[in-house]
Amino acid sequence: MDSKFFLYKKKFISAIMMSLTFVAALVAIVPLVLIFYYTISKGITYLNFSFFTAMPKPVGELGGGMANAIVGTLILIGIGGSIGVPVGIMTGIYLSEFGKNKFGNIVRFLTDVLSGIPSIVVGVVAYTLVVVPMKHFSAFAGGIALGILMIPTIIRTTEEMLKLVPHTLREGGLALGIPKWKTTINIVLRTAWKGIATGVLLGLSRAAGETAPLLFTALGNRFWSTNIGQPIASLTVYIYDYAKSPFEDWNQQAWTAALVLIMLISILSLLFRIVTRSKYKMN
């Protein structure tokens, strides 16, 4: 009888603990679901073809789109990516393959510090280094700020992913008489490529969602511009401006811009997955 009692007790406690973790998981996804619910339900009203193709209308006129901001965001993460991705990946390679020394440790430490720096501070730095000497706001300055923000994420994931590649693969390559740099690129990097791409994507998405560093670098632009030497519009800055404006119409458009931003990142993520899909089973 006793043993049966203990068995039930154990099962009871087990059930309680399991339900607790389940409830915690529910609580964790509630904000996520709410974000999706609000952005989709509120954003969808203004989501139509012209939102992607039309320019913003002046205050008081209804309708209009954010073509300039969508293109602006793409240009900004393009500039940021062309700085952050190569620097990040190559630094990651250095740290994982050659960085077992003092310099490597310093870089690793500074990378961690950099990843903890608030994005607005990075914006201030880009302002001081680029905007002030150029004497005007520009997409270029915004791109640099975003690029700097991507770097730590990309470095860290690249390093971690490369470290996951078994040492025996490196030895396998070297033992064939393949020089170290070719082994690193063609064997090690290719094996870890999928994980690195996830890191790159994470960096790009984070950059695409930044507002603060753009406020005093890329500034924003009500007009069509693809000139990287000039101020440029971005979805996030539009969301910021429109959401705090007193106009109902603009508030609505801010939701739509948020929805478009989420869609943009999802599409990017999907593309990455297709491109980096591995041909073979890896383990």
Partner 1 sequence: MDIKLSIKNLDAYYGKNKVLNNISIDIPRNKVIAIIGPSGCGKSTFVRCLNRMHEVVGGTIKGSIELDGKEITNVDPVLIRKKMGMVFQKPNPFPSMSVFNNVASGLKLNGFGRKKDMAQVVEKCLKQAALWDEVKDHLNQGGMELSGGQQQRLCIARALAVNPEVLLMDEPASALDPISTTKIEDLIFDLKKNYTIIIVTHNMQQAARVSDYTAFFYVGDLIEYNETQKIFTIPDKKQTEDYVRGRFG
| Residues in 159-178 at the binding interface with partner 1, rule: CB under 8 A | 166, 168-178
Choose which of 182, 244, 247, 270 interacts with partner 1 (CB under 8 A).
Answer: 182
Tell me the closest approach of the beta carbon of residue 174 to partner 1, in angstroms: 6
Q: Residue 49 interacts with partner 1 (CB under 8 A)?
A: no
Q: Which of these, 120, 133, 140, lies nearest to 218 by C-alpha position? A: 140
Query: In the complex, what is the shortest distance from the CB of residue 260 to partner 1, in angstroms, rounded to a whole number?
Result: 36
Nearest residue to 97 via CA among 175, 8, 158, 139: 158
195 binds partner 1 (CB under 8 A): no
CA 264/CA 35 separation, integer angstroms: 16
Instruction: Give the separation between CA 148 and CA 170, rounded to whole angstroms.
Output: 31
Tell the smallest beta-carbon distance from residue 90 to partner 1 (Å): 19
Instruction: Fill in the DSSP letter of residue 55.
Output: P
Tally of CA atoms within 13 A in the half-sphere of 16 that contains its CB? 5
Q: Which stretch binds partner 1 (CB under 8 A): 81-89, 145-153, 183-191, 252-260?
A: 183-191
Cα 258 from chain centre = 15
Residue nearer to partner 1 on the CB measure, 183 or 236: 183
Q: Does 277 bind partner 1 (CB under 8 A)?
A: no
The Cα–Cα gap between 2 and 15 comes to: 20
Cβ distance to partner 1 smaller for residue 89 or 148: 89
Residues interacting with partner 1, by CB under 8 A?
Answer: 166, 168-179, 182-183, 186-187, 190-191, 193, 278-283
